[in-house]
Amino acid sequence: MKDSDHALEHLKVIRGMMEKATVYRALSAPAAIFGGALAMLIGVYFFIQDQKETYVSGYEFFWTWVIAFVIGDSFNGFLLFRRARKEGVNFLSSGLKHTCFACAPAAIAGGIISYEVVEQEIELCALVWVLCYGVSILAMSGAAPRSLRRLGWAFLISGCIIFLVWMKYGPAISALLGINALGAGAIIMMLTFGLLHLAQGFGVLLRKEEEDPVS
């Protein structure tokens, strides 16, 4: 292969990595803080319903959170679209397609499993989301910033720890705290999708790790 061919191949690789990095930067501090705040609000709502002993079906819990995920992703997509328009680049870039394909397997698996278990075990549904979300983030970590990789590991490790505690002491802890399955599921979502996203978002702002944050 000629030197010119080597150089062209390297340019293609660099361009692909830059496109991916642009996508991952959309998961920046504003997106993380927005998603974390939204998760905290919804978690508090379900926790209050649990304390009032209001009947909430597992499917209501499921679809409410699905809508929240869609809203969070839409906000993140808006940041990405605004950035692409500002820089005059293609919104549906190869980096965006790579991210979608990387996240899809874990998201699909998590959606199917959680839908099947939510009516009987709301806590298990929440744990499936936590674990699958962590896996989906790590699946696209090849060109992601360190803060995003840490977030993926935080979800995965937190999900494993909570799962082990839930398997051994779940009913006892719920009784001790005076909560039911709905309240336990809400707490799991607030501790992970709420606090972990907020910590990641504010951490990025404090450390200024993003080289080119979304403005």
- 95 located within any domain: yes
Query: What pLDDT sits at residue 91?
Result: 66
The residues, any chain, with a CB within 8 Å of residue 132's CB and separated by 6 or more, are 106, 107, 109, 110, 113
Cα separation, 20 vs 129, whole angstroms? 24
Least confident of 61-75, 78-92, 190-204: 78-92
Segment 111-137 shows an average pLDDT of 93
Task: Give the 3-state secondary structure percentages of the chain, helix then strand then coil, rounded to 5.
Answer: 85, 0, 15
pLDDT of 208: 62
Q: Is residue 12 part of a domain?
A: no
1 domain-assigned = no
Please state the domain count of the chain.
Answer: 1
Residue 123 lies in a domain: yes
Q: How confident is the model at residue 87 (pLDDT cuts 50, 70, 90)?
A: low
39 inside domain: yes
Q: Let me know: does 209 contact 146? Beta carbons within 8 Å.
A: yes
Nearest to 72 by CA among 189, 204, 178, 176: 189
Query: pLDDT tier at 160 (50, 70, 90 boundaries)?
Result: very high
- Whether 127 maps to a domain, the answer reads yes
pLDDT of residue 13: 44
Range of the domain at 195: 22-207
Mean pLDDT of 164-170: 85
17 lies in a domain?
Answer: no
